[in-house]
Amino acid sequence: MSLTDGLLALLVMAVWGTNFVVIKFALGVLPPLLFATLRFMLVVPAIFFLRRPAVPLWHLAAYGVLIGAGQFGLLYIAMTGFISPGLASLVLQTQVVFTIGLSMIFTGEHIRAYQIGAVLLAGAGILVIATHAHGSATPLGLMLAIGAAFSWAAGNVVARLGGRVNMLAYVAWSSLFSVPPLLALSLCFEGPAAIAAGLSHLDAMVLGAVVWQSVGNSLLGYSLWAWLLSRHPAATISPMALLVPVFGMSASAWLLGEPLQDWKLAAAAFVLGGLAVNFFWPLLVQSRRAR
């Protein structure tokens, strides 16, 4: 991976990590499924300026449902009191394990020994969370966050199968398929009264949070992420997302006062250790061969 691509990946991680604080703020006003609906609804107008990418409709539909209703529907529900923002940013990175596994099944990628070690380290971090997260995460919150991670991973694989296309257009057009299931779920489980109450409190700050979800995270973040996935093996790119908790936990501690207990730091060390192994091991091998 080139330095430019690495810096782009780092930018995406910073946007996504600090975004958990924004999500927590907006969820204080909006029901989670309505919030997710509005997020993708504001992305849809971009299709009038972007030509539809040359992929089958099922690609766009699958990506839109997996990222929209799957990842963010489940994540937003989890963050309504079932898991803290900092921990959510960490648990969501189990997508790395799922992405590598699904890529092996659907794209024929081969996993290497050092990648297995990286996954085991990251898994140890999630185990630490599961055994220490009393009060910071409920079992339901962990299940929802892991479900969101699996949906994200499946979306990653779908994006890779689409090949090298205009990923900004890909993300925008796929949002057409995110909105209907999210809106249907919001009407079914949250109800018209909760939706009306949420919309009545949609002030400039909350609207700004929704716009940031649409522009900063969907149009910028996910288009860059999908573009990187189309250029590099999933086992190389997906572990970069393990940097999200660094930004997520730091922002949550600084802005929300979320405590950083020793077990959280240990969990983060395991997860980030997995990233370090995955990223630096090939560089060390290449360096030794060059010598």
Entry pTM: 0.80
Residue 1 confidence (pLDDT): 66
Residue 133 confidence (pLDDT): 63
pLDDT tens digits for the chain (291 residues)? 677 777 888 888 888 888 888 888 899 899 999 999 999 999 999 999 989 998 999 999 999 999 998 999 999 999 998 888 878 887 887 787 788 788 778 767 777 788 788 878 877 877 787 777 666 778 899 899 999 999 999 998 888 887 778 888 898 999 999 999 999 999 999 999 999 999 998 889 999 989 988 888 878 887 787 788 777 776 677 667 777 777 877 877 787 777 777 877 888 788 778 777 876 787 787 778 777
Residue 31 confidence (pLDDT): 95
**Nearest Cα residue to 151 out of 109, 80, 216, 102:** 102
Bridge partners, residue 137, by sequence: 83
Number of domains the chain is built from: 1
- Name the residue range of residue 108's domain: 3-290
Residue 155 confidence (pLDDT): 92
Residue 264 confidence (pLDDT): 77
Residue 223 confidence (pLDDT): 78
